[in-house]
Chains A and B, each alone.
Chain A
Amino acid sequence: MTEPTTEQRTFGFETRAVHAGAAPDPATGARATPIYQTTSYVFDDVEDAASLFNLQKMGFIYSRLTNPTVSVLEERIASLEGGRGATATSSGHAAQMLTFFALMSPGEEFLSSRKLYGGSLNQFANSFPRAFGWKAIFVDGEDADSYRRALTPKTKAIFIESLANPGGVVSDIAAIAEVAREANIPLIVDNTMATPYLCRPIEHGATLVVHSTTKFLSGHGNSVGGAVVDSGKFDWTKAGKYPALTEPEPGYHGLRFHETFGDLAFTIHGHAIGLRDLGPNQQPMNAFLTITGIETLALRMERHCANAMKVAEFLQNHPAVAWVNYAGLPTSPYYELARKYMPKGAGSVFTFGLKGGFDAGVAMVEGVELFSHLANIGDTRSLIIHPASTTHRQLSEEGLRAAGATADVVRLSIGIESAEDIIADLDQALKKAASVTPR
């Protein structure tokens, strides 16, 4: 009996951000990941096709299901999150749809934080129940007990954002994961704003992690995309209430995903059923740009966080600013949670309040000269938006308050430009905003 002489080497985050999922191209040796801009793949013979269609082996059939460029992105994100596998999608919203599609049946419920990106609130509150009969129960409190009290026998999952957009809220992931564990349901964490460089929810008990890869992962404001990562740690069969993963699947001759694929089941289902039947696959060009972006994720996030800290400190001391909601500031109620869950920094997206209210917010976003006024976050460029007049304008006044997007709120996504230039632009725009008389 020979004992293995060396321990298995585990590579660091930065190494995996550059390499995970990508090997030199088997056909050409190309070192960068090629863009496989193809719809379909030739079968060796009928037997090869049958094995692929029956899920007896992995491979490529049609790019709605799998594509070699997209699969590099999937493996890379799975590696960085510490997951078993990932399914890339056309957007973050598609990742959420695909996730709940695997878990929910009509008439069932999931618990959701109310402190979410406004687009997710719309998707959960309006389209999910209307189209699919999936009911989101919004939880008001942020503590674990608020989630525990909201559980019912119909609850199939809990959904939170690790770092919420736009309110500067940090979720107590481990405590809420414990509620999910006790109820034998998965905790889904949207980790878009933190990225796996700052926070890895699976390490704190999350079952599934969703991303809008459009933001910091892609990082350059050039590609819309999403992904869902499975930890591989949830026992779907034992839980006994996720039939899509455990019961015979008519589309594959009665195959049971969890029995057949074990801890790969959620990810294989995401491709073989989710992408096949819903159709929101990511495009290879977008995957290529996002793979390239992820290679510098660690470097960018360091600078994003350092710049955000300087900007937050500047705003906190500015006379036209009423408050700053940045979890990296010791004055933030979420400072301790941020130190626990994202010790390398609290991200670069946060909100602040203008003493001049709604009109000052409008003057501010129209007065910036370096910042871009647009509805995205997580770009190399610094971005600004006034949620009450844009992303969150569909919400009622009560909804705006609950989402932390009242009339005076301005949201910033701090880029990686020179910090002094970012601050100078805000300073001059704040002067314009301060000159507006509140109505």
Chain B
Amino acid sequence: MQHDTYTDSYLSEILASVKTIALVGASTNWNRPSYFVMKYLQSKGFRVIPVNPGAAGQELLGETVFARLEDIPDPVDMVDVFRNAEAAGPVTDSAIAIQARIVWMQIGVRNDEAAARAEEAGLKVVMNRCPKIEYMRLHGEIGWNGINSNVITNRKRPVKAVKKLM
């Protein structure tokens, strides 16, 4: 499929279907973007497992950091790639190998060859987006800071959207 734009339904179905996210490139510095994303997704009810070879074995926001995706003992639904486009290639191959269902590359990260391999293996792919921003956008939070969500709804939204764990 094309990866220039995504429908709201494509992204919300992905976010609704995911319970466990491996975050590759997780920083232990509390003021880095990947830390923001991990902390936010946890607050919304996702389990986020950090991956960073430089911090392997440390604890980060209550989770053990792993060096590689292949080291994670639990099933992973989605791999969030906080690495550059080149590094996203081997990370995608690892995501396929551990039978993740979704590969999500962060804003500024796009690797069409890797995306094609993932889709060939039956994974869904999102590129050049941030799951935190998309979750905030689809749940009416992003407008709180004046950002245009492009969402129009006639439904009362939950006061604090938190993912229901199945």
Interface residues of A (CB under 8 A from B): 1-4, 6-8, 10-11, 15-16, 19-21, 23-27, 29, 51, 54-60, 66, 68, 71-72, 74-75, 78-79, 83-88, 252-255, 259-260, 262, 264, 267-268, 270-271
Contacts and interface: CB of A to CB of B under 8 A. Distances in A.
A267 B142 CA distance: 11
25 contacts: A4-B10, A8-B7, A23-B154, A23-B157, A24-B155, A24-B156, A26-B158, A54-B31, A56-B39, A57-B136, A59-B144, A66-B144, A68-B144, A71-B144, A71-B146, A75-B149, A78-B148, A83-B148, A84-B148, A85-B147, A262-B108, A264-B133, A264-B145, A267-B146, A271-B145
Contact of A58 (B35, B144, B150, B159): B144
Contacts of B10: 4
Interface of B: 1, 5-10, 30-31, 33, 35-36, 39-40, 43, 107-108, 119, 122, 124, 130, 133, 136, 140-150, 152-159
A270 B145 CA distance: 9
A105 to B, nearest CB: 24
A3 B143 CA distance: 29
B148 A11 contact: no
Nearest to A23: B153
Nearest to B147: A85
B9 A27 contact: no
A208 to B, nearest CB: 13
Contacts of A29: 156
Contacts of A58: 136, 141-142, 144-145
B145 A71 contact: yes
Nearest to A67: B144
Nearest to A51: B39
A86 B148 contact: yes
A24 to B, nearest CB: 4
B89 to A, nearest CB: 19
Nearest to B120: A1
Nearest to B136: A58
Contacts of A79: 148, 150
Contacts of A55: 36
A255 B152 contact: no
A85 B152 contact: no
Contacts of B8: 8
Contacts of B140: 23, 26
Nearest to B37: A56
B116 to A, nearest CB: 11
B147 A78 contact: yes
Nearest to A7: B7
B31 to A, nearest CB: 5
Contacts of B156: 23-26, 29
A262 to B, nearest CB: 5
A80 B30 CA distance: 36
Contact of A6 (B7, B35, B36, B147): B7
Given A54-B30, A56-B39, 18 more contacts: A11-B152, A15-B152, A21-B148, A23-B155, A24-B157, A26-B157, A51-B40, A51-B43, A58-B142, A71-B144, A74-B143, A78-B146, A252-B31, A253-B31, A259-B33, A262-B108, A264-B133, A267-B145
| Closest 4 A/B residue pairs (Cβ) | A74-B146, A78-B148, A75-B143, A85-B147
A226 to B, nearest CB: 13
Contacts of A267: 145-147
A259 B106 CA distance: 12
